[in-house]
Amino acid sequence: MLCCLPGVACAPALLVSWSSAAFIISYVMAVLAGHVEPLVPYISDTGTKPPESGVFGFMINISALLAAITMYIRYLLIEKQNESSHFVRSSCNMFTLCVGLMGCTGMGIVATFQELAVPSVHDIGALVAFGSGVVYITLQSIISYKSCPRWNTYFVCHIRMAISVISCIAFIPSILYGVHLTEFIVSQLQAAFGFSSCERALKESLSPGRKVYKQTKALLVHHWKPTLFRFQECRTLLPQFLITNVS
């Protein structure tokens, strides 16, 4: 079986490394070209203009492929473990895989339909990618608990569930309250310091064609957290890929 082949443990490590490199390289290129501000820009903003847009699209598409491969290997691993332990239904495992692949599709949409070119499609892809990612790691955390103590330790399960909870906390407010929080912060800055430029930037960002985009991505910290926590989730999977004996 594929999950038993030597070297499959490199998949999650390669996913994290490649995705991190994609964000860092596009960020550095965008900053050096003067296309974004250096202080924690939106991820998509670092891949909207040439030449960084080409690098961003190419590397994120590869990341989506690596994520799909990692999720499929994880699915096969659980199926193999489940043959002797019967700790989760096969349909639940398949549903979790489908949710994960949906998130990978969203990543591909984000990379292909870039922010300024087709904003509505880009926004839908971002929503699918982040939403499905949060659901996927939550379901994987639940499956991990069900596989204890034979296939996982409770310590690792607690870490995975903590990452899932924090990801949900970071994702939900960014959808519901992003625009309102942004308006409040900018109004407070303007009242305190007279930042008229902030007001103009806010009006531009909240124009009818961009309002949905700002609602889905919201504050800077809420935009980066789900991605970082999914990377941490992949890191918790790596030891199991390395040490699990499924033979």
Residue 195 lies in a domain: no
Instruction: Answer yes or no: are the C-beta atoms of 132 and 98 closer than 8 Å.
Output: no
Better pLDDT: 91 or 232: 91
CA 66 from centre of chain: 13
What is the rounded average pLDDT of the residues 53-58?
A: 91
Ramachandran quadrant class, 7 (left: phi over 0; alpha: psi -120 to 50; beta: rest):
left
Question: Angle, nearest 10°, between helix axes 220-243 and 10-32?
Answer: 150
pLDDT number for residue 161: 92
- φ, ψ for residue 7, nearest 5 deg: 95, -10
Domain count, the chain: 1
Structural domain range at position 29? 2-177+218-243
Question: Please, what is the average pLDDT of the chain?
Answer: 76
Residue 186 lies in a domain: no
Residue 91 lies in a domain: yes
pLDDT number for residue 1: 57
Residue 59 lies in a domain: yes
pLDDT number for residue 86: 84
CB-count exposure of residue 89 (10 Å: 0-12, 13-18, 19+)? exposed
* pLDDT tens-digit map of 159-200: 999 999 998 888 877 676 544 444 455 455 445 555 444 444
Residue 185 lies in a domain: no
pLDDT number for residue 234: 56
Residue 191 lies in a domain: no
Query: What does the alpha-carbon distance between residue 176 and residue 44 come to, in Å, rounded to a whole number?
Result: 20
Residue 100 lies in a domain: yes
